[in-house]
Amino acid sequence: MAAIIESTLVRGELADELAALAREISASVVVVQGSRNGAGSGVVWDASGLIVTNAHVVSQRDALVIPRRGEQLTAQVIAYSRELDLAAIRLTEPANVPLIPARKGDSRRLKAGEVVVAVGNPLGERNAATLGIVGGPSAIPGQRDTLRLAISLRPGNSGGALADVEGRVVGIPHVVIGPGLALAVPTHVVEDFLQQTWG
């Protein structure tokens, strides 16, 4: 990360590098609307079109999904864990634009002080990017290996992508715990959740 910042600052291109990073991440982020809840975000998880979001964003049965530059589509909730605040959903109709799966990173390798980027749809703003810093793991009752972040997130960021500076998704933001502080579900917990669901 230091090398990236140093080289881009020397060339005066840091803003361009961060904008390109945000565009790459946002290609895999969609709007997710629960049947009774406000709109949140979701991450296209694999080439089959599986989308991961937070359980609190959707009901246990269905949701609406708006892909990037796409129309509103219906989706079915196929896995749900209130304890982990995770849900997996799949479209029940074809999207009119390709769903681009996110590149995943190893959340176990994250260290306190690393820079991360959250991309979601806060307060109706599409594909908004926010810089933050990993504060370290946080043991929360009912949660496993929750990431603690120094980052300013708003309603609508829930279920979106938390990525490292290489554009690899390392977590799913899900709780704002105070001004400039939030929690995220690490990618390895998401993978465990999906593995336990389908084996």
Annotated active-site positions, please? 56, 85, 158
143 in Cβ contact with 152 (< 8 Å): no
**Separation between Cα atoms, residue 136 and residue 150, nearest integer Å:** 10
**Separation between Cα atoms, residue 129 and residue 168, nearest integer Å:** 14
Q: Where are the beta strands (DSSP E) in 36-178?
A: 39-44, 51-53, 62-66, 73-81, 86-91, 115-120, 128-138, 146-150, 161-163, 169-178
53 in Cβ contact with 80 (< 8 Å): no
Give just the sign of the alpha carbon dihedral 104, 41, 141, 82.
Answer: negative
**Separation between Cα atoms, residue 33 and residue 6, nearest integer Å:** 40
For residue 98, the one-letter residue type is P
Please count the other Cβ atoms lying within 10 Å of the Cβ belonging to residue 175: 18
**Separation between Cα atoms, residue 128 and residue 122, nearest integer Å:** 7
> Which helix (H) or strand (E) element contains residue 78?
strand 73-81
